[in-house]
Each structure stands twice: as C-alpha cells, then as structure tokens.
C-alpha cells in the first residue's frame, strides 16, 4: 500500500491481480463499492485483490484463477462454479497496476444478482463491499470506478 501511496517510486514494479468482470445474464455488469474500512473506501471495483500466499503453487507460481475464485467468493458470496467463465484473460494496465480480467457470467439478471450479493453482504461482520452497483451502459460510469475497470467496461459496453 505504501508503494502505491508513494506514487510508484520504482517504475519497474507492478501491482497485479485477477479481477472477475461480473456480468449478469441480461448483459449488465456489477461492481462493488468498497467499504469505509478498506484502503479503497468509496471506490467501485470488480471483485479482485492482490494475490495472497494461498494463491501460489509451491510458493513460487501465482495461481491467478485461485486468486480470482477466492476474491469472488470473499467479496460476493458467489462460487465460480455457479458462473460461466469466458475463455482466456484480458490484461488491462493502469500505470503500474496490471489487472488480469476474466469475464464471468451469472444466470440471474442484474437486479436479482445485486439483491443476492446484498443479502450476502448483510450477513458478513465486516464485508469488503458496502454496496453493489449495476453498470448497464457508459452513462453509468463515474470517477469512483478506477481507470483499469473503466477501460474494460468501455470496451465491452455498447
């Protein structure tokens, strides 16, 4: 966190993470608003997070899929097995952030999916998301969504 707050003093160092581009059956995307107790309070993200030691194989190789699955479940209560995964990954770069995006599609429409996640958040003692927002078009994008997520959304929204 200090490295980010110091405005990336070493240009050769990157913060990378997997992000679940959570898409509803009706084509809308859902982003979570970070809770006040988090480093990104008020910002709106796809379920994502920096890999943890449990996201590695043999302590050396980062398993991005495991990172994505863990973050998705922790932040939304949704297991990856419930979703349709698009093949491959899309890399989105914002300064020294590297977001490895995986589109995952739910079987519910956006309103149903949002309500399900909200019910999950209400049961958590300290959820990472304080709210869930539906992004149906470019007019739903705002400055609380980081550049890397806006770049992805602009590419996929009509």
pLDDT in tens, 103-139: 999 999 999 999 999 999 999 999 999 999 999 999 9
Answer yes or no: pTM beyond 0.75.
yes
Whether 59 contacts 29, CB under 8 Å: no
Dig out the tokens for 125 from the structure: 């003692």
Residue 1 has pLDDT above 60, yes or no: no
What CATH number does the domain located at 13-156 have? Answer: 3.90.79.10
DSSP state of 4: H
Domain chopping of the chain, boundaries: 13-156
Compute φ and ψ for 49, nearest 5 degrees.
175, 155
Residue 8 has pLDDT above 70, yes or no: no
pLDDT in tens, 43-91: 999 999 888 888 888 877 889 999 999 999 999 999 999 999 999 999 9
Q: How many residues does the chain have?
A: 158
pLDDT in tens, 136-158: 999 999 999 999 999 999 999 97
């Amino acid at each position: 966190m200090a490295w980010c707050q110091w405005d990336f003093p070493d240009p050769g160092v990157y913060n990378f993470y997997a992000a679940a581009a959570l898409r509803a059956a009706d084509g809308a995307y859902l982003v979570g608003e970070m809770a006040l107790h988090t480093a990104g309070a008020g910002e709106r993200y796809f379920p994502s997070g920096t890999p943890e030691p449990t996201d590695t194989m043999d302590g050396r190789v980062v398993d991005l899929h495991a990172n994505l699955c863990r973050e998705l479940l922790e932040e939304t209560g949704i297991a990856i097995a419930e979703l349709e995964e698009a093949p491959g990954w899309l890399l989105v770069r914002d300064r020294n952030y590297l977001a490895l995006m995986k589109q995952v599609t739910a079987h519910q429409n956006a309103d149903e999916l949002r309500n399900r996640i909200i019910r999950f958040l209400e049961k958590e003692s300290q959820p990472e998301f304080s709210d869930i927002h539906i992004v149906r078009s470019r007019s739903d994008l705002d400055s609380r969504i980081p550049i890397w997520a806006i770049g992805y959304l602009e590419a996929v929204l009509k």
